Structure 1
Amino acid sequence: MVAPASDTPLPAPVASETPTQIPSPIPTATPTPHPLQIEAMRAREYPGSDIVVEEVLDPGVNYSRYYVSYLSEGLKIYALMTVPNGEKPPSGWPVIIFNHGYIPPTVYRTTERYIAYVDLIARSGYIVFRSDYRGHDRSEGEPSGAYSNPGYTVDVLNAVASMKRHPDADPNRIGMWG
């Protein structure tokens, strides 16, 4: 490139009649999260309810067993609940919310599945709370599956809220299995 001679004036900049405008972003609505996304699940409320003993079942080795119910979105949901025998700790017994896997609702029975697992956890000094989910066994509602509908997850979160109010449970020591 050849540099201009020192006595040659540089060309004057040409003024543009209108400045170049930068386009403004087009406002778009924030998409509604899918009902199963964590953000959507956190935005909901899970009040739970009192746990109602529907039937006293045969006891385990060192624990009592109950067929109980609680409310989830206005539906009566049934569950198996075990409570250790003996003196309750000052803060209550620790709790395991036991979430069963997929069993076709037409063959699922509350007291017939996962017996060895529930027994092992219950004998170790935990309240075990195994929800049936909606549409399973005698629980109200339609079985919706867990992949496209938040119903089962809502039932479990209402089970947690219900156990937090239970007089035998330690509300600060609730864990999940499954």
Structure 2
Amino acid sequence: MRAPARTTPVTPALALVVALLLTACSAADPADESAAEPTETSSPTGSSGDDTPTEPETEPEPATEPEEAEKPEPARPVSVLGLAEQRHRGDRLRLGAVRERTAGYTSYDITYRSRSSTRQGVEAYTISGVLNVPTGAGPFPAVVLAHGYIDPDVYVRGQGMTRERGYLAARGYVALHVDYRNHAESDDDPQFRTRMRLGYSADVINAVKALRRSDRVPVDDDRVALFGRSMGGGVILKALVAEPGLVQAAAPWASVSSLEADNYRQFMQDPEDTAIRNELATRYGTPADNPRFWRQNSSRPYFDRITEPVLMVHGRFDDTCPPPWATATQRALKRAGVDSQLEWYDDGHAFGPAFNAAMDRTVRFFDARLG
């Protein structure tokens, strides 16, 4: 599915909703116009390519059971709560080539391992990204960035939130931009669309954990936030639902709807999306045919699981993710008891004239919440 014009555990059903969200966010930021559930036993799909010794795994790999042994219970079907049932582990963060050096920070190509497990097995993907580290000894607060939809076939490493990454690093934040699986140099998940792309949220969760486990990056473990734009806003809302207490704050910008039925109607009507639309409809039914499935793959019904404060930022003239979506999400967050705010700006989906003001507001929110 793809978004209109420019301007989601690893269980079977989880990855499908993320598929819709990703397509929803096709507007890349103007500054760089230049985006599993285990099936059987362990099925790692990639390695870091680094032979440096790493600490031993603490989570046992599932063993093959005798044929007569009791079979494990099936995992929850593809859903946000299915994502929550997975055990997530991020590690093996590697610093690669230096992309840029400024007086305020150094930018690196990076990879890390995103590993998720259920009773049915384990999947691990090497995920690429870009990391900006402020100049100095640290430790520094950190922000993990989840970009909006960009066709994976044309996406390049670090695309979509270059401005935000630099802005944060210049103000003393480690900023880790996650490419997601199936993007740039990341490993591919062949089922990422039909599993609702919930794997993107798993990759973001594991990015936080990989940062905390790294001895190469001076991060203050108690001061970490999530920041997602457009499709990435939906990605981080699902991450907050799946793993309460993961971070200390979150900021969804110009976010897709927190109800997947809205995203389906908005972003799955392009004739070019006929194949994936038909595949999803055949496998799961449309929102009209199977509303329960689409709600289970939405974050909104589970907002009462969110423990972190949330700052939503939205443009009044957003014609990709309609402003009423932000209003509805904010109301639902408040009803669920989440400490949340919604800031409006006179701008469109990609944020141009109001970008600096919105970023300044977001940094002040992080400063206050991360101490």
TM-score by length of 1: 0.73
- Once superposed, which parts of structure 1, at least 4 consecutive aligned residues long, lie more than 6 Å away? none
State yes or no: 1:82 paired with 2:132.
Answer: yes
Q: 1: CA distance between counterparts of 2:222 and 2:154?
A: 35
Residue 167 (structure 2) aligns with: 120
Unaligned runs of 5+ in 1: 1-30
SS of 2:109's partner is: strand
TM-score by length of 2: 0.37
- What does the per-residue CA deviation read over 1:60-107, in whole Å, with 9 as the maximum and x for residues that have no partner? 34001110000113211101001100231xxx2111000001110111
Cα drift, residue 52 of structure 1: 0.5
Residue 94 (structure 1) aligns with: 141
Residue 221 (structure 2) aligns with: 171
Answer yes or no: is the 8 Å Cα contact 2:108–2:130 preserved in 1: yes
Give aligned-pair identity as a percent. 27
State yes or no: 1:70 paired with 2:112.
Answer: yes
Residue 9 (structure 1) aligns with: none
Residue 158 (structure 1) aligns with: 206
Q: Give 1:137's aligned amino acid.
A: A
Q: Alignment length, in residue pairs?
A: 145
- What does the per-residue CA deviation read over 1:45-67, in whole Å, with 9 as the maximum and x for residues that have no partner? 11111211121222134001110
SS of 2:89's partner is: coil
Q: 1:46 to 1:120 in 2, by over 3 A?
A: same
Q: 1: CA distance between counterparts of 2:161 and 2:104?
A: 18
State yes or no: 1:35 paired with 2:78.
Answer: yes
Q: Which of the pair is proportionally richer in helix?
A: 2
Cα drift, residue 108 of structure 1: 1.0
Cα drift, residue 133 of structure 1: 0.5
Q: 1:62 to 1:42 in 2, by over 3 A?
A: same
State yes or no: 1:45 paired with 2:87.
Answer: yes
Unaligned runs of 5+ in 2: 1-73, 116-123, 229-371
State yes or no: 1:104 paired with 2:151.
Answer: yes
Answer yes or no: is the 8 Å Cα contact 2:113–2:127 preserved in 1: yes
Give the alignment's Cα RMSD to 1 decimal. 2.2
Cα drift, residue 146 of structure 1: 9.3
